[in-house]
Amino acid sequence: MKNWLDNAENHIGSQSSNLDQVDWGRVIPFILLHLVCLFGLITGVSTTAIIICIVSYLIRMFAITAFYHRYFSHKSFKTHRLTQFLFAFLGTTATQRGPLWWAAHHRHHHIHSDTEADSHSPKAGFWNSHMLWFLNKRNFPTKWQRIKDFAQYKELRWLDRFDIIPPILFATMIFILGIFIENYFPEAGASRWQILIWGYFISTLMLAHVTYSINSVAHRWGSKRFDTHDESRNNFFLAILTLGEGWHNNHHKFPSSARQGIYWWEFDLSYYLLCLMKAMGLIWDVKKHDLAKVNQEQVTENSAS
């Protein structure tokens, strides 16, 4: 149980012989996350529960794409140390491990995209790229050598170590919201348990599998605008669900750009919200792709699968 609460307490040595096997003891909470969603069949559903589920999804998807991905992994803008911590904390509520673990593994993916060394290339199987890769022992530890820049902040190291705390606080907050709705808005027909199941568990599950789809689906299905020497694709459907991350081939071409959609019709809500945050003075030095390079290096849009 201690291994579920404190990441520093793992004793997985590189000498372990079965690094590529699923670490069943440690992934029990991940399995439970799926099973608990089934309680939705008992609690039922209401319009209020669905709205809270979607809002909870959107806030945390934004935190994953804008902060975990574009900020911590690619440093596509700058911010203050305090907002940096708040961004990291919000991202951690998505229950996808800590910011340093997430960003370090993602940097590794960009360096080795779709080669043998890539932890989650669909070339090694769809399910491996989708989720088996992070359930094994090899990829449990944070790749510290890839995240030395942010690892110097002790508050981020703390968050990475106790990455279970923000999800617990977030779920508690959702439950308290459920109690409030149950007591003061009984006409909504939503119980506290219904709000918890939909607002945290089902929302988190959707968030998880849509995020994983960037590694699995967006490296397999979609169109290639640039020759990026990997299998990354632009996938419109995923771009909608991930608030802009689906332009994954664009992203592999210009990884440090805060904007992943290139043309106006390439929906990238995370980027629009980052522009708003820039206008508010919360972030600055927002990087963008070089349009001259886009025109020069664009290859024909051939749909491939």
Residue 136 or 232 having the CB closest to Zn ion: 232
Strand partners, 79: 283
Task: Indicate the DSSP class of residue 244.
Answer: S
- CA-to-CA distance for 214 and 238, rounded, in angstroms? 8
Q: Smallest gap, in angstroms, from Cβ of residue 245 to Zn ion?
A: 9
The residue (of 28 and 117) whose beta carbon lies closer to Zn ion is 117
Closest approach of Zn ion to the CB of residue 218, in Å: 7
Crossing angle of the two packed helices 81-92 and 165-184, in degrees rounded to 10:
70
Asked if residue 154 lies in contact with residue 11, where contact means CB atoms within 8 angstroms, the answer is no
CB of 268 to Zn ion, least distance (A): 14
Cβ at position 17, least distance to Zn ion in Å: 30
190 neighbors 178 (Cβ within 8 angstroms) = yes
Q: Indicate the pairing of strand 222-226 with strand 298-304.
A: antiparallel
Nearer to Zn ion by C-beta: 136 or 242? 242
- Residue 239 has, within 13 A of its CA and on its CB side, a CA count of 24
User: Is 7 or 121 the residue whose CB approaches Zn ion more closely?
Assistant: 121
User: By the 8 A CB rule, do 261 and 268 touch?
Assistant: yes
Residue with tokens 């990238």: 268
Return the beta strands (E) in the chain as ranges.
78-79, 222-226, 283-284, 298-304
Q: How far is the CB of 70 from Zn ion (least distance, A)?
A: 8
Where are the extended beta strands (E) located within 41-114?
Answer: 78-79
Which CB sits closer to Zn ion, 48 or 232?
Answer: 232
- The residue at minimum Cβ distance from Zn ion is 232
How far is residue 5's CA from residue 163's CA, in Å, rounded to a whole number?
Answer: 8
Residue number with CB closer to Zn ion (197 or 214): 214
Q: How far is the CB of 74 from Zn ion (least distance, A)?
A: 6
List interacting residues with Zn ion (CB under 5 A). Answer: 232
Query: Counting beta carbons within 10 angstroms of the beta carbon of residue 32, is it exposed (0 to 12), middle (13 to 18) or buried (19 or more)?
Result: exposed
Q: Whose Cβ is closer to Zn ion: residue 112's or residue 138's?
A: 112
Strand-strand pairing, 222-226 and 283-284: unpaired
Measured from the CB atom, is 33 or 258 closer to Zn ion? Answer: 258
Report the C-alpha gap between 153 and 66 in whole angstroms. Answer: 19
Neighbours of 159 (CB within 10 A): 20
